[in-house]
A = this chain, B = another copy of it.
Amino acid sequence: MFSNLSAGALGLPLVHTTAIDLAAAHGFGGVDPDPEYFRSLGSTGAVAEHAAEVRERGLEWGMAGLPVPLDAPAARFREALVDLPAALELLQAAGVTRVGTWIRPMHDSLDHRQNWRLHAGRLSLVAELLADAGLRLGLEYIGPKTFWSTERFPFIHGLREARELIADSGATNVGLILDSYHWYTAGESAEDLAGLTDADIVSVDINDARDDRERDEQQDLDRRLPYATGVIDLAGFMAAVHTAGYTGPVKVEPFMKELAEQPVDEVLADISARLDRAVAGE
C-alpha cells in the first residue's frame, strides 16, 4: 500500500499540478487523479503523457470519484451513463484504476429493501461498464448514527451489509473504501475485517475521532487527524489492512477546515508522516 495525497479529502484547494509537486516533495506514494485537469489537456495522448510524467516522479494514482450518482432519479442516472464513456476514456488514458463513491446511509422515502434493490441494480450495471474500462469501483459505507438516523429509513451503515451489496452486484471489480472513522462509528472491531483480501479493498482512509464525544454522538464531518486522539484503534485497523495484503492508496479525510488555514507544507509534512506510520504498520 502507499500513502496518497488527496487534496480534496484534506479540504486543500490545490490545483492538480501543484498537488503533484507537493506529493512528490513530501514523500507521498501517490496522488489523486483530477478528471477536470485531464479534460483540459484536450486529448487522450496528452493525458497519457501527463500520466507518464507523474509516474516518473514516483507517484501512483489514488482514486477518482465515480462520475455516476448511483441513487439519482432514473433520468439523471441515464444522463450520467450517456457521459460515462468520455470520462472513462480519460481515466483509462491516464492509467487510473480506481474510482469510488459512498453509500448514502438513509433515505426519506425508499425503505431498506427498496433502496437495496436500487443500489444493487445500478451498481451491477455501472460496475460492468467500469470493468470494460479496466477500472475497479470502491464503495464507502458511512457509520455515524448522527447521520444514518436522520431520515425515515436507515440504509447500509456497516461493513457486513456493504459486503453483501457488493456480492449481490455480481461484480468482481467492486470493493470497499475502508475508512477507520466509519469502522469505528459503526461499532466494528478488527475481527470484522478478518478474511478481507486485496481484492475486497479499493481504498483506505484513516482518521481519528473527537475524544469528547461518545461513539453515537460523533459527527460525520467533524473528525480528527489519525493518531491525534487515540479514540480509534488505528493499530488494530491497519494491522487488519496489512493482513489483507492491501496494495492500494491510504489517505486522510479529516473534514477539519482549519487545515486550509495553515501553511500547506506544514500540513502535508504532518499528514505524510501520519500516513507513513500507518503504511509501516507500526
Residues on A facing B (Cβ under 8 Å)? 73-75, 77-78, 81-82, 84, 111-114, 116-118, 120-122, 124-125, 128-129, 132, 149, 152-154, 158, 160-161, 164, 167-170, 186-187
* Chain B: minimal CB distance from A3 (Å): 30
> Bound state CA distance, A184 and B230, in angstroms?
43
How many copies altogether?
4
Q: Is the pair A75, B129 in contact by a Cβ cutoff of 8 Å? A: yes
Can you name 19 A-B pairs with beta carbons within 8 Å?
A: A74-B125, A74-B132, A75-B128, A75-B129, A82-B82, A111-B158, A113-B161, A113-B164, A117-B120, A117-B169, A117-B170, A118-B124, A118-B170, A120-B120, A121-B124, A125-B125, A149-B149, A152-B158, A153-B158
CB distance from A25 to the nearest CB of B (A): 41
Contact A128 B74 (CB under 8 A): yes
Distance A226 CA – B206 CA, assembled complex (angstroms): 53
- Consensus secondary structure, chain A interface: helix
Known: A120-B117, A125-B125. A111 touches B160 (CB 8 A): yes
Closest to A167 in B: B167
How distant is the Cα of A152 from the Cα of B161 in the complex, in angstroms?
Answer: 13
Q: Considering the chains assembled together, what is the distance between the CA atoms of A114 and B160 in angstroms? A: 10
Please give me the residue from chain B that is nearest to A121 by CB atom: B121
Within the assembled complex, what's the spacing in Å between the Cα atoms of A132 and B74? 9
The contact of A75 among B74, B132, B161, by CB within 8 Å, is B132
Q: Chain B: which residue is nearest A128 at the CB level?
A: B74
**Residues on B with beta carbons closer than 8 Å to the beta carbon of A168:** 117
- Determine the distance from Cα of A218 to Cα of B160 in the docked complex, in whole angstroms: 31
